């Protein structure tokens, strides 16, 4: 993750990477590079995740039963591990999304009143 002019974006992303990856996978199976690329696209390149953060995240989510993976041919005809959301992953996405909405609302309230 890269540092920007506004501070260390990496520390902001750490606590939300699972949620963001789950959300990206909700649109369909993707391999690691396409997950990383999509996160950059959706955030206007503000959020960028490196392999050293993404693959441990995907492995952790697979162990927890939130995603499943399989080796398939990618768009450029190379073998790649594709990840897809499981039913447990969909449930986790809903729970984490609600938690994030509550948390961000509280933070916004504190910032407004502080």
Tokens of 84: 């897809």
Q: Give domain limits for the chain.
A: 3-113
CA distance 16 to 62: 17
Model confidence pLDDT, tens digit, residues 16-60: 999 999 999 999 999 999 999 999 999 999 998 999 999 999 999
Which pTM was predicted?
A: 0.85
- Cβ-contact 97, 23 below 8 angstroms: yes
Residue 75 pLDDT: 83
pLDDT at residue 102 tops 70 = yes
Determine the topology of domain 3-113 in CATH. Arc Repressor Mutant, subunit A (1.10.10)
* 3 state DSSP class of 21: helix
The two tokens of residue 15 are 């606590």
Buried-state track 59-87, b at ≥16 Cβ within 10 A, e below 16 = eebbeeebbebeeeeeeeeeebebbebbe
Average pLDDT over residues 2-12: 50
């Amino acid at each position: 993750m890269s540092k920007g002019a506004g501070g260390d974006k990496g520390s902001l992303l750490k606590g939300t990477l699972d949620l963001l990856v789950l959300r990206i996978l909700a649109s369909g199976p993707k391999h690691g590079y396409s997950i990383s690329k999509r996160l950059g696209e959706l955030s206007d390149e503000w959020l960028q995740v490196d392999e050293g953060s993404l693959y441990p995240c995907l492995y952790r989510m697979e162990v927890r039963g939130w995603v499943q993976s399989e080796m398939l041919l990618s768009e450029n005809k190379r073998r790649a591990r594709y990840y897809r959301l499981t039913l447990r992953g969909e449930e986790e996405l809903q729970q984490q999304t609600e938690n994030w909405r509550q948390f961000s609302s509280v933070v916004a309230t504190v910032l407004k009143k502080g």
